[in-house]
Amino acid sequence: MKKFIGNIMLTIGLVGGAIASARNPPLWTALGGSLAIMGVGILLRRQGEKEELHQSAAQGKGGKEELKRTLENAIAEIEKIMEEKEKDLEKAREHLGKILETLETFAEKAQPLRIEGIRFYGEVMTSFSKAERHLNRAWSAYADGYVKEGDTYLESGYSQLKETSKLLSSKL
């Protein structure tokens, strides 16, 4: 509810402020009032968002537990690829492509981590993105037929994903 009211106030403040600013010259007093409404709206919005996120995390619908599960699934799938690639490299590469798509959803779901602290979020995403880039390189190298390069980066991406998972667990 807080978030909803905050959004409404933010919108009203923005519309009012934009109209007041559009006049030549701007209506500074009206703009000041609109900025104040926006300010209160922002406070409510942020508080509401924080509460919602904590609630859903407590109910197990999101938050670090879900992110951890996504990572653990991806790690398990990569382990399968490591075995699979010895028998059928093309199939293993296709499998890797699918994992990279699911990892995209990790990045979307990780946004709420910002409320845990922007620095923590930055550390997790830096580690995760490195893993993702290495796995992307493995995919490209396999596609080009450079198997050794692919193997090196598949292993490196795999280890980096484990690091990310560890980092995530460190603050659980």
Q: Provide the minimum distance between the beta carbon of 172 and other proteins in the complex, in angstroms, as a whole number.
A: 20
Residue 36 CA to residue 60 CA, distance in Å, equals 36
97, 109, 151, 167: residue in contact with other proteins (rule CB under 8 A): 97
**HSE (CB half, 13 Å, CA atoms) of 67?**
26
Residue 90 CA to residue 76 CA, distance in Å, equals 19
Residue 82 CA to residue 99 CA, distance in Å, equals 13
Contact present, 34 and 20 (Cβ < 8 Å) = yes
The 56-95 site mask, x for binding other proteins (CB under 8 A), equals: ---------------------------------xx--xx-
- Scanning 10-18, 54-62, 68-76, 161-169 for contacts with other proteins by CB under 8 A, the matching segment is 10-18
Residue 112 CA to residue 59 CA, distance in Å, equals 15
Site of interaction with other proteins (CB under 8 A): 10, 14-15, 17-26, 28, 31, 35, 38-39, 41-42, 45-46, 49, 89-90, 93-94, 97, 101, 104-105, 107-108, 118-119, 121-123, 125-126, 129-130, 132-149, 152-153
